[in-house]
Structure 1
Amino acid sequence: MSLLIFAALVLLCVLTIFRHVKSSNSPLPPGPRNLSLIGNTLHMPIGREWITFAQWAKKYGDIMHLSVLGRSIIVLSSPKTISDLLDKRSTIYSDRPVLTMAGTLVGYDRVIPLEPYTPRHRQGRKLMQSAISPRTQPVLQASISSQMIHFLPRLVDSPAHFRQHTRWLVDSIVFQITYAYNISGHDDPLVQLADRVNRDFGRPIAPAAFLVDIFPSLRHIPDWFPGAGFKAIARDMRRTYLDMRDRQYDRIRAEVAHGTAKPSLVTTLIEGNPNPTPEEDDLYRNVVASVYGAGSDTSVSALESFFLIMSRFPHVQKAAQAEIDAVVGRGRLPTFGDRERLPYVDALIKEIYRWNPVVPMSLPHRLMQDDVYEGYHIPAGATVIGNSWAILHDPDLYPDPFDVVPERYLMKQDGERNPDPRAFAFGYGRRVCPGQIIADDTLFLFVASILATFDVGPPLGANGRPHAQEDVAYTAELISHPGPFDCTITPRSADVEKLLATLSVVADAA
Structure 2
Amino acid sequence: MLYILLLGLSILLAGYNISRRNAKGPLPPGPRGLPFLGNALHIPPEYSWLTFTRWAQTYGDVMHLSVIGQSFIILSSRKAIDDLLEKRGAMYSDRPIIPMAGELAGFGQYMAMFPYGPRHREGRKLFLGTLNPRNAPRLQAIQEETVAPFVANLAEDPSNFLLHIRWLVASVVLRITHGLTIDSYDDPVIQTMEKVIHDVSKLSAPGAYLVDSLPILMHIPDWFPGAGFKKVAKDARDNSSRIEHKLYGIVKEQVARGTALPSFAGDLMQNNPNATPEEEDLYRKTGTLFYTAGSDTTVSVIESFLILIAQNPGIQKKAQAEVDAVTGRTRPPVFSDREALPYLDAVLKEVFRHKPAGPLALPHKVRQDDHYAGYWIPAGSTVLSNTWAIMRDPSLYPNPDLVDPERYLRDSNENLNPDPRIFAFGYGRRVCPGQMLAESTLFLTAANILASFDVSEAFSLDGSEPKWGGGVVSQPLPFKCTIKPRTKTAHHG
Question: Shorter-chain TM-score: what band?
Answer: over 0.9
CA contact 2:62–2:74 (8 Å) conserved in 1: yes
- CA change 1:90–1:326 in 2 (3 A) is same
Structure 1 residue 244 displacement after superposition: 1.7
Structure 1 residue 416 displacement after superposition: 6.1
CA separation in 1, counterparts of 2:20 and 2:273? 49
Alignment-derived partner of residue 391 in structure 1: 390
- Equivalent position amino acid for 1:491 in 2: P
| Corresponding position: 1:487 with 2:474 | no
**C-alpha RMSD of matched pairs (Å):** 1.6
Alignment-derived partner of residue 426 in structure 2: 427
Alignment-derived partner of residue 232 in structure 2: 233
CA separation in 1, counterparts of 2:483 and 2:414? 39
CA contact 1:110–1:286 (8 Å) conserved in 2: yes
Alignment-derived partner of residue 82 in structure 1: 81
CA separation in 2, counterparts of 1:415 and 1:442? 26
Structure 1 residue 232 displacement after superposition: 1.0
CA separation in 2, counterparts of 1:451 and 1:91? 43
Gaps of 5+ in 1: 461-467, 502-510
CA separation in 2, counterparts of 1:27 and 1:386? 21
Structure 1 residue 415 displacement after superposition: 8.5
Alignment-derived partner of residue 14 in structure 1: 15
- CA change 1:276–1:416 in 2 (3 A) is closer
Alignment-derived partner of residue 351 in structure 1: 350
Alignment-derived partner of residue 128 in structure 2: 129
Structure 1 residue 34 displacement after superposition: 2.2
| Corresponding position: 1:475 with 2:469 | yes
CA contact 1:32–1:66 (8 Å) conserved in 2: yes
CA separation in 2, counterparts of 1:78 and 1:313? 29
Structure 1 residue 46 displacement after superposition: 3.1
- Equivalent position amino acid for 1:180 in 2: G
Alignment-derived partner of residue 172 in structure 1: 171
- CA change 1:336–1:225 in 2 (3 A) is same
Q: Percent identity?
A: 50
Structure 1 residue 372 displacement after superposition: 0.6
Query: What are the equivalent positions in structure 2 for 1:47-196 lying under 5 Å apart?
Result: 47-196=46-195
CA contact 1:458–1:469 (8 Å) conserved in 2: no
Q: Secondary structure at the match of 1:384?
A: strand
Alignment-derived partner of residue 506 in structure 1: none
Structure 1 residue 206 displacement after superposition: 1.2
Structure 1 residue 277 displacement after superposition: 1.2
CA separation in 2, counterparts of 1:47 and 1:100? 19
Structure 1 residue 484 displacement after superposition: 2.6
CA separation in 1, counterparts of 2:162 and 2:218? 38
CA separation in 1, counterparts of 2:265 and 2:99? 29
Q: Secondary structure at the match of 1:352?
A: helix
CA separation in 1, counterparts of 2:17 and 2:235? 34
CA contact 2:466–2:479 (8 Å) conserved in 1: yes
Moved more, 422-431 or 285-294: 285-294
List per-residue Cα deviations over 1:332-375 (Å, max 9, x = no partner): 01111111111000000101101110011000000000001111
CA separation in 1, counterparts of 2:242 and 2:11? 41
CA contact 1:411–1:417 (8 Å) conserved in 2: no
Number of paired residues?
A: 490
CA separation in 1, counterparts of 2:173 and 2:119? 24
| Corresponding position: 1:321 with 2:320 | yes
Return the TM-score normalized by structure 2. Answer: 0.97
List per-residue Cα deviations over 1:367-407 (Å, max 9, x = no partner): 00000111110000000010001100112211222221100
- CA change 1:478–1:415 in 2 (3 A) is closer
- Equivalent position amino acid for 1:122 in 2: R
- Equivalent position amino acid for 1:441 in 2: S
CA contact 2:169–2:299 (8 Å) conserved in 1: yes
- Equivalent position amino acid for 1:439 in 2: A
CA separation in 1, counterparts of 2:151 and 2:408? 29
Alignment-derived partner of residue 492 in structure 2: 500
CA separation in 1, counterparts of 2:413 and 2:283? 49
Q: Secondary structure at the match of 1:372?
A: strand
Gaps of 5+ in 2: none
Structure 1 residue 9 displacement after superposition: 2.3
List per-residue Cα deviations over 1:100-126 (Å, max 9, x = no partner): 111111110111111111211111111
- Equivalent position amino acid for 1:435 in 2: G
List per-residue Cα deviations over 1:469-494 (Å, max 9, x = no partner): 63222101101111232111011112
Structure 1 residue 281 displacement after superposition: 1.0
| Corresponding position: 1:333 with 2:325 | no
CA separation in 2, counterparts of 1:365 and 1:489? 41
Structure 1 residue 152 displacement after superposition: 0.1
CA separation in 2, counterparts of 1:12 and 1:44? 21
Return the TM-score normalized by structure 1. Answer: 0.93
| Corresponding position: 1:404 with 2:403 | yes
CA separation in 1, counterparts of 2:39 and 2:464? 34
CA separation in 1, counterparts of 2:134 and 2:414? 36
List per-residue Cα deviations over 1:428-448 (Å, max 9, x = no partner): 011000000000000000111
CA separation in 2, counterparts of 1:415 and 1:375? 29
CA contact 2:102–2:108 (8 Å) conserved in 1: yes
CA separation in 1, counterparts of 2:22 and 2:36? 15
